[in-house]
Structure 1
Amino acid sequence: MKKIMVVDNEPDIVDLTRTVLELGGYNVVTANSGEECLRLLEKEKVDLVLLDIMMPGMSGWDVFNRINNKKSNIKVAFMSVLEISDKRKQVLLEEGLADYIMKPFDKETLLNRVDKILEETE
């Protein structure tokens, strides 16, 4: 069973996302900050990190760059209310981002996007 880490400083978003993913058949680990995410990644093996961008302390951008610089096999997808241009999204995808999921999202959209990301890693 694939394991996903959900990282967001909003507890309601974390709980909702965890519930949707667990109902979709995934194991889920959660973190409420970028720092906590990186600490957990030292001991948890996950297939995908769903990462908020705007968090106090270490931002999602910083976490993505740290994961990306380690050349790990962990996929990272942003979940954000921030709209970005198609050009910026393309650059991020070329830099290793797996997806950019706009909040708010419905459960079908989230599961479809996660399924697609994880199918590409098999």
Structure 2
Amino acid sequence: MNKKILVIDDEDDILDFVERVLKDAGFVVYKAKDAKQGLIVLQTEKIDLILLDIMLPEMDGWQVMQMLKSEERLKKIPVAMLTARVDAYDKIIGLKEGAVDYICKPFTADDLLKRINDIFLYIEKNNL
């Protein structure tokens, strides 16, 4: 069965690019422009990976991470930060909060796919 990935980002061009790249690679993709839309998807779909932007309207990515990790049903879903914030402090915070990866914008299609495939490979090898 194809892996389901939820992309939460408020930039349409990023959402469309990531969707195209991932769909072409065989993933099922759900898009959300903000945390509220993302949470609606999470109520109805079993998601295998979340790509989460930090800078979102209303609720930022850090708040979303904290909420995901506090809910039993959602806390095991791996989250990779997908963001333009490139300083080391943000990366440390993201990984400390439980992110499995920190993907900096801009990125290429090849880089995105490699990182996502590496995440799924790691999960599979470690029975997570």
Q: How high is the TM-score relative to the length of structure 1?
A: 0.91
Alpha-carbon contact 2:4-2:29 (below 8 Å) kept: yes
Rounded to whole Å, the distance in 1 between the matches of 2:37 and 2:118 is 26
Number of aligned residue pairs: 121
Write out per-residue CA displacement over residues 53-95 of structure 1, whole angstroms, 9 at most, x where no aligned residue: 101111111111111122422000111111131x653453243
Are residues 1:106 and 2:108 paired? Answer: yes
Matched, 1:30 2:31: yes
| Structure 1 match to 2:14 | 13
Moved beyond 2 Å, runs of 4+: 87-95
Give the TM-score of the pair, scaled to structure 2. Answer: 0.87
Amino acid at match of 2:36: E
- Alignment-derived partner of residue 116 in structure 1: 118
- Alpha carbon RMSD of aligned pairs, Å? 1.5
Task: Kindly report which structure 2 residues correspond to 1:85-100, keeping only aligned pairs within 5 A, or say none.
Answer: 85=88, 89-90=91-92, 92-100=94-102
Structure 2: gaps (5+ residues): none
Aligned equivalent of 1:79: 82
- Provide structure 1 residue ranges, at least 5 long, that are not aligned to the other structure: none
In 2: Cα distance, 1:90 partner to 1:58 partner: 20
Tell me the percent identity.
40
Contact 1:5 1:28 in 2 (8 A): yes
